[in-house]
Chains A and B, each alone.
Chain A
Amino acid sequence: MSNVLTRDDFQPAQIPLSPRFMWKRSINDSTNTRQRVHSKWVSQESPGVSHRQTSPVSPYPAENAAPEVMPHGSPAALTGKSIWGRLDQLSEALNDAIELSETLVSEDEAPPIDEQTFAYAVRILTPLFITMEIPAPLILPLQKGGVGAEWHAFGMNIELRFRNPYRTYAVLEDARGVIPPFHGRDRGLVQTHTALREFATRVE
């Protein structure tokens, strides 16, 4: 980064959070999220209980926890505590995007996020957080109801633009040259998975 300018040069005083944002944060605190996600796993493993049952305020659509996206047989095989933490971070990032979207809508700067596109983005992002130790991305509302997810760290720019379900534009850049640059539609997110796996190795 520049030796002259830092982020502080672009920051005003502390930005107060809106009351609604605070409320959203409170319903997504670690304990609640942990309980919701845990109950989902328990329901999948318990006979007679529909695995589709989720809390109505859950940010994770039920299909996101589909076992086929898990490379491990059981959540116990994963490092449980860090998973909760990562899912909490993802939940907060999603809340940030919703909060920003509501602001943009109220000021006529963008349409609301399309629910199907949002659900699709969550369905794509959630397994990534379960299987890889990566920090939460910046999640942004896009025009025409889309959602963007971006990571800018460890020498990599990884940007995903979910324009609608099944149309994702990816920008992948690596200052270290390990991952070749990619700008385009990433069907099946093949390129993105490669980049995120490399990204995960740099997180530590």
Chain B
Amino acid sequence: MSSPPESNENAETLAGVVRTGQKLTDPSEGLLRRVRRTPRAQYNPIADQTTGRFRAPAAAFEPRFPDLANPDKIVDEALSVNVESFLRTAGLPLTWGAELRKHYVARVTVADCTRQDLEARHDPILPENPHHGLIWGLVEMHQIDEDRYERAIDALARASTIVPYNA
């Protein structure tokens, strides 16, 4: 379970970005990210050769950036996830919200995020998803240092584990 949130207030970063929601501080808190299936089953998920574990590709941890050609498109301020402890409290499976024909679900922890100077917050979307959370920092990181951004999504991908369907 998640420890009590550090703050109920939104936070503003030095870059002026307002981070909404309650900060998650339990390092072991799970953050669940839907991963789009590729047309070929042999890559769903990826078999990491150095760790010997299945994991998601780094592309799964990319937020949507502004598209200059299509300014009306949806843009992410942060990376959307579901927060494991809230799903468990509600008695929902960790794959909740994923269409199993189209997605599988990857899990990272709050500690995986903080190691990359990212911040996880519980940020419910009411009423449809009270379990929703956000991983903040990737968008700003991309603006400041693209190589740092690449390393961060790499690290999240390599830290990820895959949620079995019966979980």
For residue A198, CB closer than 8 A to chain B, the reply is no
Q: Mark A160-190, 1 if CB is under 8 A from B, else 0.
A: 0101000001010111000000011100000
Answer whether A138 and B38 are a contact pair too, CB < 8 Å, given A10-B44, A150-B46, A184-B147. yes
Known: A5-B164, A148-B59, A175-B50. A11 touches B70 (CB 8 A): no
Residues of B within 8 A of A61 (CB): none
B133, CB-defined interface residue at 8 Å: no
Q: How far does the alpha carbon of A108 sit from the alpha carbon of B41 in the complex, in Å?
A: 23
Contacts of B101 in A (CB 8 A): 12-13, 15
Number of interface residues of A (CB under 8 A): 46
Asked whether, in the complex, the Cβ of B46 is within 8 Å of the Cβ of A138, the reply is yes
Contacts of A159 in B (CB 8 A): 57-58
CB <8 Å contact, B49 and A10: no
A143 and B63 contacting across the interface, CB-CB below 8 Å: yes
Q: A109-B36, A109-B64, A148-B57 are in contact. Are A1 and B47 (CB under 8 A)?
A: yes
Q: Give per-residue flags for B137-167: 1 if the beta carbon is below 8 A from chain A beta carbons, else 0.
A: 0000000001100110010000000101100
Known: A171-B154, A175-B49. Is A143-B65 also a contact (CB below 8 A)?
Answer: yes
Q: Determine which of A1, A163, A175 lies in contact with B54 in the assembled complex, contact meaning CB atoms within 8 Å.
A: A1
A169 touches B49 (CB 8 A): no
> Is A7 a contact partner of B54 (Cβ separation < 8 A)?
yes
Chain A interface, >50% SS class: mixed
A interface footprint on B52-74 (CB within 8 Å = 1, 0 otherwise): 11100111001111010110011
Interface centre among B40, B59, B69, B74, by most A CB within 10 Å? B59
Point out the residues of chain A lying under 8 angstroms from B30, CB to CB: none
Closest to A145 in B: B67
Option from B52, B64, B154 in Cβ contact (under 8 Å) with A110: B64
A111-B73, A175-B49 given; A142·B150 CB < 8 A = no
How far is the CB of A152 from the nearest CB of chain B, in Å? 5
Chain B count of residues within 8 A CB distance of the other chain: 41
Closest partner residue, chain B, to A4 (CB atom): B164
Among B36, B39, B47, B67, contact of A152 (Cβ-Cβ < 8 Å) = B47
Cα A152 to Cα B158 in complex, Å, equals 13
B86 interface contact, C-beta 8 A: no
The prevalent SS among residues of B at the interface is loop
Roughly how many angstroms separate A15 CA and B39 CA in the complex, as a whole number? 8
Contact flags (1/0) for A7-24 with B, using CB distance below 8 Å?
101111101010001000
Could you tell me if B39 and A99 are in contact, using CB atoms closer than 8 angstroms?
Answer: yes
CB distance from B83 to the nearest CB of A (A): 21
**Is A144 an interface residue, CB under 8 A from the partner?**
yes
A13 and B37 CA atoms in complex are apart in Å by: 13
| Chain A minimum-CB-distance residue to B39 | A96
9 contacts between A and B (CB under 8 A): A2-B54, A7-B42, A9-B162, A12-B100, A138-B38, A138-B57, A143-B64, A156-B49, A157-B48
10 nearest A-B pairs in the assembled complex, by CB-CB distance:
A143-B62, A138-B43, A111-B67, A96-B39, A12-B100, A9-B164, A175-B50, A10-B104, A169-B150, A140-B59
